[in-house]
Structure 1
Amino acid sequence: MFGKIILSCLLIISFSFGMSKDEIKSEMSNKIDKVLIILKDSKLNKDKKTEEIITIMNSLFDYTLMSRLSLGRTWSEINDKQKNDFVKLFTQKLKNSYVDKLNLYTDELVEILGTEQPKTNRIVLKTQLVGKEDKYNIDYKFYEKNSDNWLIYDVNLLGVSIIQTYRQQFAGFLKDKTFEDLMANLTTIQNNTK
């Protein structure tokens, strides 16, 4: 069940280009539809599906902000090179976890329920992954990076924040280990997924 929910995160792999506030619902709906078509295409292998999905979704996520939020206060304690290196590894970690879930797709649908604006610079796009037996809520959290340019910085799956989950994991790891140990661990994980 949770694997199928994580699959929906494939809909948000990206770099930082963003969209306007008025485009969020329609653009996400359009991109989700394109991703579902790719996932249903039995002529494409997993690698090709991954490549095409990343191409479609390459403009929605702010991985730098996600990296900073997931690392917590340690972010302010490291230098610019360490920050850049961490962003690269963390981005790859997220992408690898999404790609690993590709083979779990079994013809689910994604419904766009609407948007909420809890703050002037925050918008939540509420969606549901609809399976044959259950529905799972997935909230995409956008922030306004600059004048009417909105990017995703977190996703809630069943009420659980992806970024908060990583932040807790990293904080636990760093209690008795160094930032260099964390980077080595992330590098090992990345090398083992190649």
Structure 2
Amino acid sequence: MKIFKFLTILSLFCISLFGLDKDEIKQNVSIKINEALEILAKKEIDEDTKLNNLFKIFDPMFDYKQMAKISLGKRFNSLSKEEQDEFSKAFEIKLKNSYIDKIKSYSGEKIHIKDANEPQPRRYFLNGELISDGKSYEFVFKFYDAKERGWLIYDIDIIGVSIMQTYRSQFADMLESADFTTLMAKLNESSQK
């Protein structure tokens, strides 16, 4: 689905250079989304340059290791430090590579940041919507307090579906009949496509 792909791309490019204070999140997300949309709309910039610019601006706002940990669930803690690092890096590459070829799908969609709520003391959910062809699609950027690193994104819900829970379910199914080495081989294989 084009909208799902576009929202996922945008979720990877949404904030600023460093971890934020909680009261800065909403304003900075709005500013950076507008900057991202301007970059995506520039036809004179090739796709590789667009991606490099977007990742350079937004990468530090995502806690890829926390995302990897969530996606693997309890099994993450049973891995050695080296395996955790290996999985985290492979998972980050998979996340990024799965959206790189979808940059072409941008066709002028609009994004509006709406409101925020704090379901728990160290959680901050920023709600927004994407408008495409007159239809509205809801999404939520989920932040957590990473202490000295500021508030970082650990998950995104798109149209009510958690990206991390989707991966968690896929990995759990795979690990029912395979081991960590097989999972890593499949992760690395999908990242090279």
- For 1:63, the equivalent position in structure 2 comes to 64
How big is the alpha-carbon RMSD for the aligned residues of Structure 1 and Structure 2?
A: 1.7
- Residue matched to 2:150: 149
* Deviation of the 1:74 alpha carbon: 1.0
Equivalent in the alignment of 1:126: 127
Per-residue CA deviation, residues 41-96 of structure 1 (Å, 9 max, x unaligned), is: 00011111101111111221100100001001111111000000001100000111
CA distance in 2, matches of 1:29, 1:71: 31
Structure 1 pair 47–152 and aligned structure 2 pair: CA distance change class (3 A): same
1:11 equivalent in alignment to 2:13: yes
Whether 2:176 is the aligned partner of 1:166: answer no
Match status 1:23 vs 2:24:
yes
Distance 2:40 2:59 in 1: 17
* Structure-1 residue corresponding to 2:52: 51
Instruction: Determine if contact 2:156/2:162 at 8 Å carries over to the other structure.
Output: yes
Q: Which amino acid aligns with 1:168?
A: S
Q: How many positions carry a matched residue from both structures?
A: 191
Q: Which segment drifts farther, 70-79 or 6-15?
A: 6-15
* Aligned equivalents of 2:177, 2:154: Cα separation in 1: 28
Which range is displaced more, 134-143 or 5-14? 5-14
CA distance in 2, matches of 1:159, 1:111: 17
CA displacement 1:93-129 (0-9 Å, x = unmatched) = 0111222221110000110101111111000000111
1:68-87 matches, within 5 Å, as: 68-87=69-88
Stretches of 4+ moved more than 3 A in 1? 12-15
Q: How does 1:174-185 map to 2 (within 5 A)?
A: 174-185=175-186
Distance 2:48 2:83 in 1: 30
Partner of 1:39: 40
**What do residues 6-53 of structure 1 show as CA deviations (whole Å, max 9, x unaligned)?**
3332324999x4110011001111111110000000001111110111
What TM-score, normalized to structure 2?
A: 0.93
CA distance in 2 between counterparts of 1:148 and 1:180 reads 32
Taking only the aligned residue pairs, the percentage that are identical comes to 37
Structure 2: gaps (5+ residues) = none
